[in-house]
Protein backbone atom coordinates (compact mmCIF):
# COMPACT_ATOMS: atom_id res chain seq x y z
CA UNK A 1 0.00 0.00 0.00
CA UNK A 2 1.35 3.43 -0.94
CA UNK A 3 2.07 5.66 2.06
CA UNK A 4 2.19 9.41 2.28
CA UNK A 5 5.46 11.30 2.71
CA UNK A 6 4.58 14.74 4.01
CA UNK A 7 6.30 17.87 2.77
CA UNK A 8 6.36 21.46 3.91
CA UNK A 9 3.32 23.00 2.28
CA UNK A 10 1.90 26.52 2.16
CA UNK A 11 -1.78 26.81 1.24
CA UNK A 12 -3.20 30.20 0.28
CA UNK A 13 -6.24 31.64 -1.52
CA UNK A 14 -6.17 31.49 -5.30
CA UNK A 15 -5.43 34.66 -7.30
CA UNK A 16 -5.81 35.51 -10.97
CA UNK A 17 -2.03 35.11 -11.39
CA UNK A 18 -2.45 31.37 -10.70
CA UNK A 19 -4.50 30.42 -13.79
CA UNK A 20 -1.50 29.14 -15.77
CA UNK A 21 -0.41 26.90 -12.90
CA UNK A 22 -3.79 25.38 -12.10
CA UNK A 23 -4.35 24.79 -15.82
CA UNK A 24 -1.02 22.96 -15.97
CA UNK A 25 -2.04 20.72 -13.07
CA UNK A 26 -5.52 20.10 -14.45
CA UNK A 27 -4.17 19.09 -17.85
CA UNK A 28 -1.52 16.81 -16.33
CA UNK A 29 -4.24 14.89 -14.49
CA UNK A 30 -7.10 15.02 -16.99
CA UNK A 31 -5.73 15.34 -20.54
CA UNK A 32 -9.07 14.25 -22.00
CA UNK A 33 -10.51 17.53 -20.73
CA UNK A 34 -7.51 19.78 -21.33
CA UNK A 35 -8.14 23.48 -20.96
CA UNK A 36 -6.29 26.71 -21.63
CA UNK A 37 -5.81 29.35 -18.92
CA UNK A 38 -8.21 31.61 -20.82
CA UNK A 39 -10.91 28.92 -20.76
CA UNK A 40 -10.43 28.40 -17.03
CA UNK A 41 -10.76 32.13 -16.45
CA UNK A 42 -13.79 32.37 -18.72
CA UNK A 43 -15.53 29.56 -16.82
CA UNK A 44 -14.96 31.42 -13.58
CA UNK A 45 -16.16 34.74 -14.99
CA UNK A 46 -19.41 33.15 -16.15
CA UNK A 47 -20.32 31.95 -12.68
CA UNK A 48 -23.84 33.20 -11.96
CA UNK A 49 -25.47 34.02 -8.65
CA UNK A 50 -26.26 32.32 -6.36
CA UNK A 51 -23.68 29.67 -7.37
CA UNK A 52 -20.65 29.74 -5.09
CA UNK A 53 -16.99 29.22 -6.01
CA UNK A 54 -13.90 29.42 -3.82
CA UNK A 55 -10.40 28.13 -4.63
CA UNK A 56 -7.01 27.64 -2.94
CA UNK A 57 -3.55 26.67 -4.16
CA UNK A 58 -0.82 24.69 -2.41
CA UNK A 59 2.84 25.71 -2.78
CA UNK A 60 6.04 23.81 -2.07
CA UNK A 61 9.28 25.80 -2.28
CA UNK A 62 7.46 28.49 -4.29
CA UNK A 63 6.01 26.01 -6.81
CA UNK A 64 2.27 25.43 -7.07
CA UNK A 65 1.81 21.68 -6.61
CA UNK A 66 -1.94 21.45 -6.03
CA UNK A 67 -5.20 23.32 -6.00
CA UNK A 68 -8.69 22.78 -4.69
CA UNK A 69 -12.06 24.42 -4.85
CA UNK A 70 -15.74 24.02 -4.12
CA UNK A 71 -18.32 25.19 -6.61
CA UNK A 72 -21.99 24.97 -7.52
CA UNK A 73 -23.29 24.34 -11.03
CA UNK A 74 -26.06 26.61 -12.39
CA UNK A 75 -27.85 23.82 -14.28
CA UNK A 76 -28.15 21.65 -11.14
CA UNK A 77 -27.96 24.30 -8.43
CA UNK A 78 -28.88 23.38 -4.88
CA UNK A 79 -27.87 25.70 -1.99
CA UNK A 80 -26.54 22.78 0.08
CA UNK A 81 -24.81 20.70 -2.61
CA UNK A 82 -21.24 21.31 -3.76
CA UNK A 83 -18.84 19.87 -6.30
CA UNK A 84 -15.28 19.58 -5.05
CA UNK A 85 -12.07 19.58 -7.06
CA UNK A 86 -8.88 18.34 -5.42
CA UNK A 87 -6.01 18.27 -7.95
CA UNK A 88 -2.36 17.50 -7.21
CA UNK A 89 0.72 17.58 -9.43
CA UNK A 90 1.42 13.93 -10.39
CA UNK A 91 5.06 14.44 -9.39
CA UNK A 92 3.86 15.09 -5.83
CA UNK A 93 1.33 12.29 -5.34
CA UNK A 94 1.53 10.62 -1.95
CA UNK A 95 2.91 13.63 -0.11
CA UNK A 96 -0.22 14.55 1.86
CA UNK A 97 -1.13 17.48 -0.40
CA UNK A 98 -4.53 16.12 -1.37
CA UNK A 99 -5.36 15.37 2.24
CA UNK A 100 -4.55 18.90 3.40
CA UNK A 101 -6.49 20.48 0.56
CA UNK A 102 -9.49 18.21 1.08
CA UNK A 103 -9.61 18.91 4.82
CA UNK A 104 -9.48 22.65 4.12
CA UNK A 105 -12.19 22.64 1.47
CA UNK A 106 -14.52 20.33 3.38
CA UNK A 107 -14.10 22.48 6.47
CA UNK A 108 -14.99 25.60 4.48
CA UNK A 109 -18.08 23.94 3.00
CA UNK A 110 -19.40 23.05 6.47
CA UNK A 111 -20.48 26.67 6.98
CA UNK A 112 -23.25 26.07 4.41
CA UNK A 113 -24.62 22.99 6.22
CA UNK A 114 -24.10 20.73 3.17
CA UNK A 115 -26.21 17.68 2.44
CA UNK A 116 -23.83 16.37 -0.24
CA UNK A 117 -20.49 16.96 -1.93
CA UNK A 118 -19.27 15.24 -5.06
CA UNK A 119 -16.12 14.80 -7.15
CA UNK A 120 -15.10 13.24 -10.48
CA UNK A 121 -12.12 11.02 -11.17
CA UNK A 122 -10.94 8.65 -13.87
CA UNK A 123 -11.42 4.93 -13.19
CA UNK A 124 -7.74 4.05 -13.76
CA UNK A 125 -6.47 6.67 -11.27
CA UNK A 126 -6.34 4.14 -8.43
CA UNK A 127 -4.67 6.48 -5.93
CA UNK A 128 -7.37 9.09 -6.46
CA UNK A 129 -10.19 6.52 -6.37
CA UNK A 130 -8.87 5.17 -3.08
CA UNK A 131 -8.53 8.70 -1.69
CA UNK A 132 -12.23 9.35 -2.29
CA UNK A 133 -13.50 5.96 -1.13
CA UNK A 134 -11.53 6.17 2.13
CA UNK A 135 -13.34 9.44 2.82
CA UNK A 136 -16.81 8.00 2.37
CA UNK A 137 -17.47 8.84 -1.27
CA UNK A 138 -19.56 6.32 -3.20
CA UNK A 139 -19.68 5.85 -6.97
CA UNK A 140 -23.08 6.68 -8.50
CA UNK A 141 -22.38 7.32 -12.20
CA UNK A 142 -19.85 6.57 -14.95
CA UNK A 143 -19.13 8.33 -18.21
CA UNK A 144 -17.15 7.11 -21.20
CA UNK A 145 -14.87 9.42 -23.08
CA UNK A 146 -14.31 8.19 -26.63
CA UNK A 147 -12.17 9.27 -29.56
CA UNK A 148 -12.67 8.94 -33.31
CA UNK A 149 -9.64 8.91 -35.60
CA UNK A 150 -10.85 11.02 -38.51
CA UNK A 151 -8.15 9.67 -40.81
CA UNK A 152 -9.99 6.31 -40.65
CA UNK A 153 -13.50 7.75 -40.90
CA UNK A 154 -15.36 7.44 -44.22
CA UNK A 155 -18.57 9.51 -44.25
CA UNK A 156 -19.57 7.88 -47.54
CA UNK A 157 -20.41 4.71 -45.63
CA UNK A 158 -23.43 6.47 -44.17
CA UNK A 159 -24.59 8.43 -47.22
CA UNK A 160 -27.75 6.35 -47.67
CA UNK A 161 -28.82 6.87 -44.06
CA UNK A 162 -28.22 10.62 -44.23
CA UNK A 163 -30.25 10.73 -47.46
CA UNK A 164 -33.06 8.78 -45.78
CA UNK A 165 -33.31 11.45 -43.08
CA UNK A 166 -33.35 14.25 -45.66
CA UNK A 167 -36.04 12.38 -47.61
CA UNK A 168 -38.34 12.89 -44.61
CA UNK A 169 -38.18 16.63 -45.25
CA UNK A 170 -35.61 17.19 -42.52
CA UNK A 171 -32.84 19.63 -43.39
CA UNK A 172 -29.39 19.23 -41.83
CA UNK A 173 -28.10 22.78 -41.48
CA UNK A 174 -25.46 24.65 -39.50
CA UNK A 175 -25.59 27.92 -37.61
CA UNK A 176 -23.34 29.32 -40.32
CA UNK A 177 -25.98 28.33 -42.91
CA UNK A 178 -28.91 29.59 -40.90
CA UNK A 179 -27.27 32.82 -39.75
CA UNK A 180 -25.07 32.57 -36.69
CA UNK A 181 -25.99 36.12 -35.65
CA UNK A 182 -29.75 35.59 -36.14
CA UNK A 183 -31.58 35.81 -32.80
CA UNK A 184 -34.32 33.46 -34.02
CA UNK A 185 -31.66 30.81 -34.67
CA UNK A 186 -30.41 31.20 -31.11
CA UNK A 187 -33.93 31.07 -29.67
CA UNK A 188 -34.90 27.93 -31.58
CA UNK A 189 -31.61 26.28 -30.64
CA UNK A 190 -32.28 27.11 -26.99
CA UNK A 191 -35.79 25.62 -27.21
CA UNK A 192 -34.38 22.45 -28.78
CA UNK A 193 -31.72 22.25 -26.06
CA UNK A 194 -34.36 22.61 -23.34
CA UNK A 195 -36.36 19.74 -24.80
CA UNK A 196 -33.33 17.51 -25.32
CA UNK A 197 -31.55 18.13 -22.02
CA UNK A 198 -34.36 16.49 -20.04
CA UNK A 199 -33.04 13.13 -21.27
CA UNK A 200 -29.31 13.85 -20.95
CA UNK A 201 -28.12 11.74 -17.99
CA UNK A 202 -26.93 13.54 -14.87
CA UNK A 203 -25.85 12.11 -11.49
CA UNK A 204 -28.89 10.57 -9.77
CA UNK A 205 -28.62 12.80 -6.71
CA UNK A 206 -28.86 15.96 -8.83
CA UNK A 207 -31.94 17.74 -10.14
CA UNK A 208 -32.01 20.11 -13.07
CA UNK A 209 -32.77 23.71 -12.33
CA UNK A 210 -34.38 26.21 -14.65
CA UNK A 211 -31.92 27.68 -17.13
CA UNK A 212 -32.89 30.94 -18.78
CA UNK A 213 -32.05 31.82 -22.35
CA UNK A 214 -29.52 34.38 -21.12
CA UNK A 215 -27.67 31.82 -19.00
CA UNK A 216 -27.71 29.29 -21.85
CA UNK A 217 -26.49 31.88 -24.33
CA UNK A 218 -23.65 32.99 -22.05
CA UNK A 219 -22.45 29.38 -21.85
CA UNK A 220 -22.97 28.75 -25.58
CA UNK A 221 -21.64 31.91 -27.22
CA UNK A 222 -18.05 31.18 -26.23
CA UNK A 223 -15.06 31.64 -28.51
CA UNK A 224 -14.42 27.87 -28.57
CA UNK A 225 -17.77 27.14 -30.26
CA UNK A 226 -17.67 26.57 -34.04
CA UNK A 227 -20.79 28.13 -35.65
CA UNK A 228 -20.01 26.16 -38.81
CA UNK A 229 -19.82 23.01 -36.65
CA UNK A 230 -23.13 23.60 -34.86
CA UNK A 231 -25.48 21.29 -36.77
CA UNK A 232 -29.26 21.48 -36.50
CA UNK A 233 -31.97 19.17 -37.85
CA UNK A 234 -34.75 21.46 -39.10
CA UNK A 235 -38.32 20.29 -39.71
CA UNK A 236 -40.49 23.18 -40.87
CA UNK A 237 -40.04 25.94 -38.30
CA UNK A 238 -38.83 23.63 -35.55
CA UNK A 239 -35.33 22.50 -34.62
CA UNK A 240 -35.76 18.81 -33.83
CA UNK A 241 -32.16 17.77 -33.20
CA UNK A 242 -28.70 19.23 -32.60
CA UNK A 243 -25.04 18.19 -32.61
CA UNK A 244 -22.26 20.68 -32.10
CA UNK A 245 -18.48 20.82 -32.22
CA UNK A 246 -16.12 22.85 -30.05
CA UNK A 247 -12.46 23.76 -30.31
CA UNK A 248 -9.97 21.97 -28.08
CA UNK A 249 -6.62 23.29 -26.83
CA UNK A 250 -5.18 19.98 -28.10
CA UNK A 251 -3.85 20.49 -31.63
CA UNK A 252 -5.91 18.76 -34.31
CA UNK A 253 -8.75 17.85 -31.94
CA UNK A 254 -12.41 18.88 -31.75
CA UNK A 255 -14.90 18.03 -29.02
CA UNK A 256 -18.56 17.17 -29.32
CA UNK A 257 -20.96 19.12 -27.13
CA UNK A 258 -24.62 18.14 -27.02
CA UNK A 259 -25.98 15.63 -29.51
CA UNK A 260 -29.67 14.87 -29.14
CA UNK A 261 -33.11 14.72 -30.71
CA UNK A 262 -36.53 15.71 -29.40
CA UNK A 263 -38.41 12.67 -28.10
CA UNK A 264 -41.17 12.80 -30.70
CA UNK A 265 -38.59 12.79 -33.51
CA UNK A 266 -36.45 9.89 -32.35
CA UNK A 267 -35.90 6.56 -34.13
CA UNK A 268 -35.73 8.26 -37.52
CA UNK A 269 -31.93 8.22 -37.85
CA UNK A 270 -31.58 11.95 -37.11
CA UNK A 271 -28.88 11.68 -34.44
CA UNK A 272 -26.72 9.48 -36.66
CA UNK A 273 -27.15 11.82 -39.62
CA UNK A 274 -26.21 14.86 -37.52
CA UNK A 275 -23.10 13.12 -36.20
CA UNK A 276 -22.06 12.02 -39.70
CA UNK A 277 -22.41 15.56 -41.03
CA UNK A 278 -20.44 17.02 -38.13
CA UNK A 279 -17.66 14.44 -38.50
CA UNK A 280 -17.58 14.95 -42.25
CA UNK A 281 -17.09 18.67 -41.62
CA UNK A 282 -14.31 18.04 -39.09
CA UNK A 283 -12.48 15.71 -41.46
CA UNK A 284 -12.79 18.16 -44.37
CA UNK A 285 -11.29 20.90 -42.18
CA UNK A 286 -8.23 18.78 -41.54
CA UNK A 287 -8.82 17.87 -37.91
CA UNK A 288 -7.16 14.71 -36.63
CA UNK A 289 -9.80 13.46 -34.18
CA UNK A 290 -13.08 14.17 -32.42
CA UNK A 291 -13.63 13.39 -28.73
CA UNK A 292 -17.02 12.83 -27.13
CA UNK A 293 -18.44 11.67 -23.81
CA UNK A 294 -21.47 9.58 -22.84
CA UNK A 295 -22.96 8.25 -19.64
CA UNK A 296 -22.29 4.51 -19.66
CA UNK A 297 -25.99 3.54 -19.63
CA UNK A 298 -26.88 5.84 -22.54
CA UNK A 299 -27.12 2.86 -24.88
CA UNK A 300 -28.65 4.66 -27.85
CA UNK A 301 -25.92 7.28 -28.18
CA UNK A 302 -23.14 4.82 -27.35
CA UNK A 303 -24.41 2.48 -30.08
CA UNK A 304 -24.23 5.33 -32.60
CA UNK A 305 -20.72 6.27 -31.55
CA UNK A 306 -19.55 2.66 -31.61
CA UNK A 307 -20.89 2.27 -35.12
CA UNK A 308 -19.12 5.43 -36.27
CA UNK A 309 -15.83 4.08 -34.95
CA UNK A 310 -15.32 5.92 -31.67
CA UNK A 311 -12.92 4.09 -29.34
CA UNK A 312 -13.57 4.20 -25.61
CA UNK A 313 -11.01 5.49 -23.13
CA UNK A 314 -11.05 4.74 -19.38
CA UNK A 315 -14.33 5.87 -17.83
CA UNK A 316 -14.75 8.94 -15.65
CA UNK A 317 -16.48 8.15 -12.36
CA UNK A 318 -18.74 10.44 -10.33
CA UNK A 319 -18.40 10.01 -6.57
CA UNK A 320 -20.89 11.30 -4.00
CA UNK A 321 -20.56 11.86 -0.26
CA UNK A 322 -23.75 12.60 1.69
CA UNK A 323 -24.22 14.02 5.19
CA UNK A 324 -26.90 13.32 7.74
CA UNK A 325 -29.63 15.95 7.77
The structural domains of the chain, with segments of one domain joined by +, span 10-114, 145-313
Please give the full DSSP string across 69-122, using - where no structure is assigned: EEE--GGG--TTEEEEEEEE-GGGTTSSHHHHHHHHHHHHHGGG--SEEEEEEE
Burial 17-55 (b: 16+ CB within 10 A, else e): ebbebbbebbbebbebbbbbbebbeeeeeeeeeebeeeb
Expressed in percent and rounded to 5, the helix, strand and coil fractions of the chain are 40, 30, 30
The pLDDT score that the predictor gives to residue 71 is: 97
Provide φ and ψ at 314, rounded to 5°: -55, 145
CATH superfamily label, 145-313: Gcn5-related N-acetyltransferase (GNAT) (3.40.630.30)
Burial 152-171 (b: 16+ CB within 10 A, else e): ebebeebeeebeebeeeebe
| CA distances, 181 to each of 89, 187, 190, 278 (Å) | 42, 11, 14, 20
Strands 53-60 and 63-71: antiparallel
The pLDDT score that the predictor gives to residue 1 is: 36
Please tell me the distance from the alpha carbon of residue 200 to that of residue 196, in angstroms, as a whole number. Answer: 7
Please tell me the distance from the alpha carbon of residue 148 to that of residue 264, in angstroms, as a whole number. Answer: 29
The pLDDT score that the predictor gives to residue 236 is: 94
Please tell me the distance from the alpha carbon of residue 24 to that of residue 33, in angstroms, as a whole number. Answer: 12
* Residues lower than pLDDT 50 in the chain: 1-3
pTM: 0.92
User: Which class is domain 10-114?
Assistant: alpha beta
The pLDDT score that the predictor gives to residue 7 is: 79
Summarised one tens digit per residue, pLDDT across range 38-66 is 999 999 998 888 999 999 999 999 999 99
Does 145-313 match 10-114 at the fold level?
yes
Summarised one tens digit per residue, pLDDT across range 157-200 is 999 999 999 999 999 999 999 998 999 999 999 999 999 999 99
- 202, β-bridge pairs: none
Amino acid sequence: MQTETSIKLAVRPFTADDYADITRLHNANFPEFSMSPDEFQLDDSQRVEPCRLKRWVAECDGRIVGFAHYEQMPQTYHPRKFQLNITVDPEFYGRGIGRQLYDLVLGEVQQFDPIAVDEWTRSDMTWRVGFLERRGFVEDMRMWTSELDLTEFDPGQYAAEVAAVEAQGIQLRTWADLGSEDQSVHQRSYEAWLAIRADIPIPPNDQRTETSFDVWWTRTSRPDLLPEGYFVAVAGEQYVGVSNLWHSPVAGELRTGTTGVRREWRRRGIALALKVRSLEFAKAQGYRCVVTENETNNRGMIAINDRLGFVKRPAYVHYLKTFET
